[in-house]
Amino acid sequence: MPEDKVRQIPFIQSLDRGLTILQAVALSKQPVSLGELTEILGIDRSSAFRLANTLRRRGFLACPAGRKDYILGSSMWRLSHRYDWGNMLIRVANQQLKLLATQINETAHLAIREGKYALFIDHAAASNVIAVAGQVGELVPLYCTAHGKALLADADERELRALFGSGHLRRYTKNTLTSIQELAKECTLIKKRGFATDEAEYTEELRCVAAAIRVDNDVIVGSIGVSAPMTRFSKERYRASAEQVCKVAQAIGILLSNADQATDRDADKAVAEFA
């Protein structure tokens, strides 16, 4: 269990414990019993109970009808729904996005997943280059774009079928992957090497590299990438770009993971190497 806590600044024990409970419950697929919480926190049963009870009163936890173990409550739902996460991502990633566009000298995009599609939520154009496809606000299929596939990186075949059904996928170009099986294999590869490509699989003549943005090196919350016409984006050039894309994606992930000053620097470092 990774427990990295720095206490240079005094921190409130009981609040911290409460948050631990919240996390534990959120990360568990099953309802969590008081006993388990006691175990996790390593404190007395009664204390765990009172903590959990406080969370329940506030609606952050709830008890499934009749049961006495805990699940997340509606407050979490409400609070996170109300919040404008898209804007947060845009804000945090903006600088990195521009950096990427400048370095590679092609248009860079930021996307999030929206159901079966990837949604472009921001872009940065290189100064001296004609803008390329991918308007902000545009929805593109997940399965045949670099951004989409990056967002799908963690999916296995079962999930893909649940999402797209078991039939064939619509073909956009001659390179489009149309079977779930191929797609699943591609996802595995993408996950391993860290970036996804689009070899004109959605739009003819358009090549694209993208990497998933992960919070805590885990949950995928968005993707960042660059794209350009094949004529301008040679295979080796865009392969080289992949590395930069990955680094930037990671930098943004770090910024999101612990958005405090200390980690601003970590992110800078991560980017600095090739800046």
Binding range to a second copy, per CB under 8 A, among 33-41, 204-212, 229-237, 254-262: 254-262
Near DNA by CB under 7 A: residue from 47, 75, 173, 178: 47
Question: Over the range 229-241, which residues count as b (16 or more CB within 10 Å of their CB) and which as e?
Answer: beeebeeeebeeb
Please pick, from the candidates 35, 44, 78, 168, the single residue that binds a second copy as defined by CB under 8 A: 78
Determine contact, residues 211/227, Cβ cutoff 8 Å.
Answer: no
105 interacts with DNA by CB under 7 A: no
Task: Give yes or no for residue 259 binding a second copy (CB under 8 A).
Answer: yes
Distance CA 61, CA 207 (A): 46
Size of the site for DNA (CB under 7 A): 23
Give, as ranges, the residues between 206 and 225 that touch a second copy (CB under 8 A): 215-216, 218-219, 221
Those residues whose C-beta lies under 8 Å from the C-beta of residue 221, and which sit 6 or more positions away, are 89, 112, 213, 214, 215, 256
With contact defined as beta carbons under 8 Å apart, do 210 and 111 qualify? yes
Comparing CB distances to DNA, the nearer of 138 and 266 is 266
CB of 92 to DNA, least distance (A): 19
Segment (H or E) for 50? helix 45-57
Give the one entry of DNA, a second copy, none that residue 91 binds, where binding means its C-beta sits below a cut-off of 5 to 8 angstroms depending on kind: a second copy
Complex with a second copy: residue 15 or 130, whichever CB lies closer: 15
**Binding map of DNA across residues 8-37, x = CB under 7 A, - = no contact:** xxxxxxxx-x---------------xxx--
Locate 213 and state its tokens: 């943005």
What minimum distance in Å lies between the beta carbon of 47 and DNA? 3
Sorted by sequence, the CB contacts under 8 Å of residue 45 that are 6+ apart come out as 34, 35, 38
Does position 50 interact with a second copy (CB under 8 A)? The reply is yes
Contacts to DNA from residues 78-97, by CB under 7 A: none
The residues, any chain, with a CB within 8 Å of residue 93's CB and separated by 6 or more, are 110, 122, 213, 222, 224, 252, 255
Is 181 among the residues that bind DNA (CB under 7 A)? Answer: no
Furthest C-alpha separation in the chain: 68
Shortest separation between residue 271's beta carbon and DNA, angstroms: 16
